Structure 1
């Protein structure tokens, strides 16, 4: 008798959760499961399905490329699809950006940025510049390199022995300012922390700074205070340190402009994108670089010493080009910019809820931070899993939310994200907020009854 499992209910998939729902179809902001139930996707399926399900014409464009040729190795051939997507991204990038490197994920895009920064400094005869300064509670990816860059405590702790020594500074969290300041009297100590770390390490040992202009789930759509990115740009210029901006979650129109940095008027040295770039049709990431970076490699007579089998994959490039074109034709960035204030107005009353400490965000990217005590801002203990309970209560009413944790101190703190597809209707936006409010009520009642 073989040692193989014989139970008919044995699950051959190593799953990331215990739920066994199976998605089989979808339309717009709704996903349909194998039992015919319709789910309203309030977080664009972890910020990926920005066009919703089955946007017209997108799959057909991707299939046309696939029927022509499914794969060609980018170490031997380029492709029209790769050229088209790169050109489309450059047209929407800040002035001076002229090159794009296509990857298979946001993790790969951020690792590529760090490796390219290293090669840039080598090309200029500065081999000691290796450290990349990041922020605590950030998330830049799941690979060992990207996790070393990330500051998310729950994700780091199991793999701490494998992580690289990358310095981290506190995030620009005005709700929990480590310097005891408030926005009315802020002197941007959160930005100055980067300079302090550069001086501590020695500028000759620091390669780059990596920041999210609007954070993802761990920090609940944390928006940096006005002037924060500009100050970091000045600090980087002063110390010959590259500025890398991670717009994996916030880019591609999510906050009402193509990139968040467009709103702040800041031009970094590199920008990373992923998530919605492929609309969920295929994994994809992109690294956009300023001409000064590519120019340094050209002058040194070298190319980027990096890549894997699927770098620049023609089908993922076709997906990216189709998604960008759909966003443009349907004026979805403008739609998010116009509807963002309405979403904020719907969400604003939730800030008065007994377990909501802070609402923050822009456009179609919002987060609510949940607290045990509104006056002291004390977070719930992680063991209580309050954000997960809120999401479960909302799911019982057919709405799916993405949650985050450890926002308060690297361990405790709960956030719930609101990041609907750009095609979500006004009625669906109202339903999302209504269901979230009821879920908060349900969990608050559970907490009070157990006290």
Structure 2
């Protein structure tokens, strides 16, 4: 494989990058524009997932490029321990306004994992700074089959079995997990939605009681579970019930919206769907749209007032916190989203995407469930629709669909996001579809057609092993 370097010379040697897979180098992307990415072998691929639900306004938007350039010329870096800068102030003002004042302050970092680490620290500090401090609050409750990041704290609070496995001996022990809200897999046939919610609320309440309610800092959950479960939204009433349990025991509610937030699920913040405002919220992928590494957290008034009345500071900081160029990029992305009413478009086009996926694939022999919200949809594959039995993990169906999508003939390939462990963290396969917010119906027609082709090609490839 060869590429052309920035100096114009061909790079034909082995990669010096420590790739995720040391035995097989990834395809190399040389350019991107709009909804498409181009490989060094000339193939042009429709990016139907924005990478990892990141590129929310598509690639190469000149307005964002100009904002980055202008910021780089004006101020490239400042240390947030001593200074602030206009781009950071602008971005954080936009973010707080976007919550209609429900949240009080924004804290900007470089990745979702860093945002979750900061959120966990902020939870701990909150309880230390109460008028009557509660230093025993050291425990976190989260949910199985969720993913909250790859650093040790974030990986500990998450429960993506495959990503945790190697590091189990060094993960935090002050964390426990309860069931996800996954109606397709876990809601009983004779159980109403209200009864299902009540059962999950009791499970959370029981977990508070088991570990000791006086030691729990927070309950952490994704409003719509992304990579780990394949776009599974909570059922109506779920988060109101979870918030009630947290309030009962004085614990904080932390919502991880790194993947599902900032417009992705058809509202600016995923919590708006049910109107349950978190104490702390993490944000990420759609924040900067992939133009710069950026993520953050939004802290509620309850938390901020406690710190203001206490030490008056947040005991946490990072070198590249609120980086001027990243903030300028994200601020421009957010202006574009608001100016072009792209959150509304994500909601409208999301309904069309969901209905078309169900129309084209709902009766497919190996499609068990199609679920999502806004422009965040998942397709779960099953060996048997009636029993919902998953495929043998050795088949790696999700990855196979992804590979077939990339390999479609001509320039008609599509990038889909594969996942596994959908059932219990070990078995189960799904793919994600998460196109930019500015898609049209024509774009969605093409995305669905290519997705169907990729799925059909994948199952044709393994037909002899499924017979």
> Could you say whether these structures have the same fold, taking a TM-score greater than 0.5 normalized by the shorter chain as the test?
yes
CA contact (8 A) 1:74 1:311 kept: yes
State the partner residue of 2:364. 353
State the partner residue of 1:55. 61
CA contact (8 A) 2:264 2:286 kept: no
How many residue pairs end up in the alignment? 445
- The two structures have a TM-score, normalised by structure 1, of 0.95
Per-residue CA deviation, residues 62-104 of structure 1 (Å, 9 max, x unaligned), is: 2111111110100011111111111000001154311111111
Where structure 2 has 5 or more consecutive residues not aligned to the other structure, the ranges are: 1-10
State the partner residue of 1:400. 415
Where structure 1 has 5 or more consecutive residues not aligned to the other structure, the ranges are: 1-6
In 2: Cα distance, 1:235 partner to 1:95 partner: 24
Per-residue CA deviation, residues 316-372 of structure 1 (Å, 9 max, x unaligned), is: 111111110011111111111221211112101312111111010011000011111
In 2: Cα distance, 1:23 partner to 1:11 partner: 14
Q: Secondary structure at the match of 1:219?
A: coil
Residues 132 and 179 of structure 1, relative CA distance in 2, 3 Å threshold: farther
CA contact (8 A) 2:349 2:440 kept: no
- The two structures have a TM-score, normalised by structure 2, of 0.92
State the partner residue of 1:319. 329
* Equivalent in 296, 299, 302 of residue 289 of structure 1: 299
In 2: Cα distance, 1:254 partner to 1:267 partner: 17
State the partner residue of 1:127. 135
CA contact (8 A) 2:194 2:237 kept: no
* Equivalent in 422, 441, 444 of residue 426 of structure 1: 441
Residue correspondence of structure 1 range 299-448 to structure 2 within 5 A = 299-349=309-359, 350-397=361-408, 398-448=413-463
Residue correspondence of structure 1 range 18-417 to structure 2 within 5 A = 18-93=24-99, 95-124=101-130, 125-165=133-173, 166-177=175-186, 182-184=191-193, 186-188=195-197, 189-349=199-359, 350-397=361-408, 398-417=413-432
CA contact (8 A) 2:377 2:434 kept: yes
Q: How large is the Cα RMSD of the aligned pairs?
A: 1.6
1:12 aligns with 2:22: no
In 1: Cα distance, 2:17 partner to 2:238 partner: 44
In 2: Cα distance, 1:94 partner to 1:208 partner: 24
Displacement of 1:290 after TM fit?
0.8
CA contact (8 A) 2:279 2:300 kept: yes
CA contact (8 A) 2:349 2:439 kept: no
Residues 42 and 182 of structure 1, relative CA distance in 2, 3 Å threshold: farther
In 2: Cα distance, 1:178 partner to 1:334 partner: 31
In 2: Cα distance, 1:314 partner to 1:255 partner: 28
Displacement of 1:37 after TM fit?
2.0
CA contact (8 A) 1:217 1:367 kept: no
In 2: Cα distance, 1:248 partner to 1:44 partner: 14
In 2: Cα distance, 1:267 partner to 1:314 partner: 29
In 2: Cα distance, 1:425 partner to 1:23 partner: 25
In 2: Cα distance, 1:167 partner to 1:92 partner: 32
Residues 184 and 274 of structure 1, relative CA distance in 2, 3 Å threshold: closer
